[in-house]
Structures are given as structure tokens and as C-alpha cells.
Structure 1
Amino acid sequence: MSKDKLTEYRSKRDTAASGEPAGRRGKKDGGDLFVVQRHDASTLHFDFRLEVGGVLVSWSVPKGPSLDPRDKRLAVRTEDHPVDYAGFEGRIGEGYGKGTVVVWDTGTYRNLTGVSSDEPVAMAKAVEDGHLTVWLDGEKLSGAFSLTRTGTGRQEKWILVKKDDDGADRRAKPARTKPESVLSGHVNEDFE
């Protein structure tokens, strides 16, 4: 793997044309930011991102996160994104990812991976190992969520699942009923 975790991100974009952030890394030891962006590109999907090791480790979730613990959501691992991407909203111009983006949810997370054992697992190691659990404190998402890798290859496939806790709600469908940005109140169509 390249020492620069943003090499793949930069290679796929002409940020001058797309309007996306050029790519600032955060602190190497990482922060605790999470963001979910609603991205209306060739297909509508949600980009689930966790700040790990100075970048936003990212998954594309076609149906969006669910608050129902019975739902298993496909999450396809994508390239790491720069930390300053977390606040990006607007229209991505021609090229890779063309479409509109809003910040559907954001907040902080806590690593719960291996917390019950003698040696908690660091986030970077959890991603590498293919299983992590985090507690999200967002406006639309709260409580524990797990991501588990189910397949490798050109695109790693993972499953995103809400844990059955106080943040669980089997009736709520926020990915369908709450399309607006938590930062600006905009919806994707506002940027078309």
C-alpha cells in the first residue's frame, strides 16, 4: 500500500473540475469524526465514512444505513477520502462520481471493537481485519453499528448492521424519509 493513503482518491479526480476538496489529511492518530453523504451519481447511494489514521475510510451503501437491526446493508469499500471531504456538499462535475452530494448525517464515533476483551482493537487494525463496531453520535444515526467484510477482490464487500440498542427503530426509514442535509437543509436536487 502506498504511504499516501489519498493516492487513489487523487488519481480518480480532477478536483479543479469536480469542485471536490483536493485532499487534506488529518492527524495521523486520527480523530473521531463520522459522516454519511447522500450521493446521487449514476445511482443514488450513501457514502459511510469514518475518520481513521488521518483519512476518511469509506464504504458505499446503496440502500443507506438502517436503524432496524434485522436489516443487513451491503457496503462496498471505496477509496479513502481526505478529512476535509466531510463537509463537502454540491455538484461534482464531469468525471468520476459525477452527481450531487449532501451531508446526510455527521457526528462523532467511538470505537467499540474488542472493547469487552483485554486488548481493544485499534480502528486501523479493525478495518484491516475486516470487522469493526462503532458507536455513532449523529443527528439521524445513533447507537452501535457493525461493519463486517464478507468478500475481497477488486471491490471489498462488507455488511453494515445496526445493533439492537436504544438507537434501534424497526419502523424508522431515515434513508428514504429524511433526504435533507444536516448541515445546510439542502437536498440533492438543490444542486442540479
Structure 2
Amino acid sequence: MSEARRFVVQRHRARRLHYDFRLELDGVLVSWAVPKGPTLDPKARRGAYHVEDHALDHAGFEGRIPAGKYGRGDVIVWDNGTWEPREGDDPAAALAAGELHFDVYGVKLHGRFVLKRTSGDDWLLLHKGDEHAVPGWDAEDHPLSVLSGRTNDEV
């Protein structure tokens, strides 16, 4: 088994609602904006847009980013836990090659996921058809923070 690393998903209401999907790798949180949120539905294909890396201490951030600041809006920690790459894979090399298979062990999300680059900074986030798959599963049906139990309206 490889070393488990942290992952966090933050529900972020900025100009548009999206979910920031972040994986700890090489001392930073490698990040993707996922407009429709992650899912456990193996038939759903979620667009994921690679954005700038974030510092590890950002993993626990909840609150409001003021107007005029990059990323303005309210943020909750929608899910968190650990992740590990598919056995035998080097995650940095897999990301550079454009396809990372990994398992997450979160409060809401579980099982095998794949991040697959389609072009440039555009990726797809997919859940594999494993024992954790749930057809029709939608992130919006699970709106509470795993840290505080609050919604975005309450932060």
C-alpha cells in the first residue's frame, strides 16, 4: 500500500457555484474546479478544470473571501479524508501523463476515481464502477460541511 495523502473538496460559491477538488501531492494541494461537483455515479462525467496549486493549510479553510479578492465568495469543507494512487503508480508522473487513477477515503466520497486530461487544463473526473458506486448520486443532495455542519449560507 502506498502512503495515504490528504484530499479535500471545498464547496465554493464565487461568481458561480463549483467544487474545488484538491489532492495533496509533493507538499501542495493540486487543485481542480469541478462545476457540477464530484459524484459516486460511475456513468457521470464531470468536467474538472486544473487551477493553481494551494498551500496545505488551505485544506481546512471555511469562510468568506471578500469581494475584490481572487476567489471571492463563501467556502465550506464539503468533504475530506485521504487518498492514494493506484498501486504501483507514481502520481506526479501519472498527472503529467494526463491520467491519474486513485482511491479516496472520505466522509462522503469513497472508492476509485480517475482524473483524465482532455486538453490543456481541461480534465474529466470520473468515479469507477466499484462497490462504492451509487447511480444518480449528486453532490448537491449533501450540502453540509464535514467540519462545521454548516451550509454555505451559514458561514
Q: Same-fold call, TM > 0.5?
A: yes
Match of 1:11 in 2: none
Partners of 2:66 and 2:137 in 1: CA distance: 33
- The correspondence of residues 1-80 of structure 1 with structure 2, limited to 5 A, is 32-80=5-53
Please tell me whether the aligned partners of residues 4 and 84 of structure 2 are also in contact (alpha carbons under 8 angstroms). no
Structure 1 outlier segments of 4+, above 3 Å: none
User: Which deviations, in whole Å up to 9, do the C-alpha atoms of 1:105-137 show, x marking residues without a partner?
Assistant: 00001111xx3xxxx331111111111011000
- The correspondence of residues 27-176 of structure 1 with structure 2, limited to 5 A, is 32-94=5-67, 95-112=69-86, 115=87, 120-152=88-120, 156-173=121-138, 175-176=139-140
Partners of 1:67 and 1:36 in 2: CA distance: 14
Partners of 1:171 and 1:43 in 2: CA distance: 23
Greater per-residue strand proportion: 2
Instruction: Flag the structure with larger Rg.
Output: 1
Partners of 2:78 and 2:49 in 1: CA distance: 18
Match of 1:188 in 2: 152
User: Which deviations, in whole Å up to 9, do the C-alpha atoms of 1:25-54 show, x marking residues without a partner?
Assistant: xxxxx8600000000000000000000000
Q: Which consecutive residues of structure 1, in runs of 5 or more, have no partner in the other structure?
A: 1-29
Counting matched residue pairs gives: 152
Root-mean-square deviation (CA), in Å?
1.2
Partners of 1:31 and 1:53 in 2: CA distance: 12
Q: Which consecutive residues of structure 2, in runs of 5 or more, have no partner in the other structure?
A: none
User: Which deviations, in whole Å up to 9, do the C-alpha atoms of 1:142-179 show, x marking residues without a partner?
Assistant: 00000000001xxx000000000111000332x11111
